């Protein structure tokens, strides 16, 4: 699992924008055709993943995911060169 180092300010911004819920809306096996229902009490509990891995790690390129959705995304994503 790739590790992306977002700053705490970026993580907090993503947490607030997501309403403290996992942002996965993909057709994920965890929640087909719906948004993930996982809720985070603290922003430090979530996993932060870039929308575009080649772009800068800023607040416009960060989404908050639960561990299951992040693992599913990485398992289905094409390899990064």
Asked if the model's pLDDT at residue 14 lies above 80, the reply is: yes
50 burial (CB, 10 Å; 0-12 / 13-18 / 19+) is: middle
E strand intervals along the chain? 47-50, 62-65
Is residue 13 a part of any domain in this protein? Answer: yes
Does residue 14 contact residue 20 with C-beta atoms inside 8 Å? Answer: no
The alpha-carbon radius of gyration of the chain (Å, integer) is 12
Q: Is residue 32 part of a domain?
A: yes
pLDDT higher than threshold 50 for residue 1: no
Tell whether 14 is covered by a domain: yes
3 within some domain: no
Q: Is residue 1 part of a domain?
A: no
* pTM of the shown model: 0.82
pLDDT digits (tens, 9 = 90+) for 17-66: 999 999 998 777 778 888 889 999 999 999 999 988 889 999 999 999 99
Residue 55 domain boundaries: 8-76
Higher pLDDT, 78 or 18: 18
Residue 28: CB atoms within 10 A of its CB come to 21
Q: What is the pLDDT of residue 8?
A: 93
Q: Give a yes or no: residue 62 inside a domain.
A: yes
Question: How many domains is the chain built from?
Answer: 1
In a domain, residue 65? The reply is yes
């Amino acid at each position: 699992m790739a590790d992306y180092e977002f700053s705490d300010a970026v993580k907090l911004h993503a947490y607030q924008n997501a309403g403290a819920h996992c942002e996965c809306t993909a057709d994920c096996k965890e929640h087909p055709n719906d948004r993930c229902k996982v809720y985070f009490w603290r922003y430090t509990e979530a996993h932060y993943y870039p929308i575009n891995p080649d772009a800068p790690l800023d607040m416009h390129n960060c989404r908050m995911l639960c561990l299951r959705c992040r693992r599913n995304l990485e398992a289905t994503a094409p390899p990064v060169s």
